[in-house]
Amino acid sequence: MTRRVDQDEPAARRASRTLRWPSFWDLAYAAGDHLLYWDPPATPPELVELLDAGLIPRQGTVVDLGCGAGREAVFCAGRGHPTLALDRSLPALLHARRRARDAGASMLCCQADVFAPPLAAGCADLVLDRGLFHLLPRRRRPAYARRIGRLLRPGGHLLLRFAAGDDPEAGLVTASEAELDRLFPQPGFHRHPPRSITMTAQAEDLPAQAVLIRRRARRAEPAGRRWSPAPGKPDRRRRPRG
């Protein structure tokens, strides 16, 4: 199905054609399908709560990995955080750039692969991943986790959101707490308990988990402040899938 999204859509389509192999993602963003299946209609509450909780420095740098159409990156930029929105899909970044412009927010957009981000070690106070990690097969996750560990400044946080269960048809692979602890091991990292959330889009509500992980500044550092907003509060009213 194709849908007109906005006046940037023809630009997104042109950009997609210039890529040698337009990916599933390029075509989906060019058609506007992201709005139906994964792009959140409002800023996800777990991100709002995290920034409100004061765990991230006011001027802390945010890196959104697999930013898509940029809902979360634009929100962080609007709150005054230096923000970098990274995605492999150029059409996604065109949407993100337009959103930032409409919101009067200023952020950097970067087309890159998360396995080779052109970013300095220790550059991020907050790394966001909403819906990319669960696309990665388990064998690729250790390399991804090492990348994130390198991007995080000591004391920096990762906010990870992924499907609560496997969905082979959609290519989603969940993660257990044991897997997360292998990927982000003690004593270098502190993991908060996972929270049940809903990843909401126009046509789909996906039961998911939100996990906050902190790169410890010092090995002997205490666990830190709790991140304990209302348990299991969904993004919005649940709607049946499909």
132 binds ligand SAM (CB under 6 A): yes
130 binds ligand SAM (CB under 6 A): yes
Name the one residue in this structure whose structure tokens are 């006011």.
58
Q: Tell me which stretch binds ligand SAM (CB under 6 A): 99-107, 130-138, 185-193, 228-236.
A: 130-138
Q: Which of 33, 39, 125, 235 binds ligand SAM (CB under 6 A)?
A: 39
* Beta carbon of residue 134, minimum distance to ligand SAM (angstroms, whole number): 8
- Residue 174 or 224: which CB sits closer to ligand SAM? 174
Q: Which of 66, 149, 156, 194 binds ligand SAM (CB under 6 A)?
A: 66
* Beta carbon of residue 222, minimum distance to ligand SAM (angstroms, whole number): 31
87 binds ligand SAM (CB under 6 A): yes
Q: Tell me which stretch binds ligand SAM (CB under 6 A): 63-71, 100-108, 184-192, 205-213.
A: 63-71
Confirm if 164 and 196 have CB atoms less than 8 A apart. yes
Q: Tell me which stretch binds ligand SAM (CB under 6 A): 11-19, 49-57, 84-92, 223-231.
A: 84-92
The total number of residues written for the chain in this structure? 242
32 binds ligand SAM (CB under 6 A): no
* Beta carbon of residue 181, minimum distance to ligand SAM (angstroms, whole number): 24
Q: Which of 22, 25, 194, 235 binds ligand SAM (CB under 6 A)?
A: 25
Cα(134)–Cα(41) distance, integer angstroms: 20
* Beta carbon of residue 228, minimum distance to ligand SAM (angstroms, whole number): 23
Name the one residue in this structure whose structure tokens are 């709002």.
48
HEC sequence for the chain: CCCCCCCCHHHHHHHHHHCCCCCHHHHHHHHCHHHHHCCCCCCCHHHHHHHHCCCCCCCCCEEEECCCCCHHHHHHHHCCCCEEEEECCHHHHHHHHHHHHHHCCCCEEEECCCCCCCCCCCCEEEEEEECCHHHCCHHHHHHHHHHHHHHEEEEEEEEEEEECCCECCCCECCCCHHHHHHHCCCCCEEECCCEEEEEECCCCEEEEEEEEEEECCCCCCCCCCCCCCCCCCCCCCCCCCC
* Beta carbon of residue 35, minimum distance to ligand SAM (angstroms, whole number): 10
Q: Tell me the residue type at 144.
A: Y
Residue nearest ligand SAM, CB atom distance: 68
Count of Cβ atoms closer than 10 Å to residue 241 Cβ: 10
88 binds ligand SAM (CB under 6 A): yes
Q: How many residues bind ligand SAM (CB under 6 A)?
A: 17
Judged by the rule CB under 6 A, the positions of this chain that interact with ligand SAM are 25, 38-39, 66-68, 71, 87-89, 92, 113-114, 130-132, 135
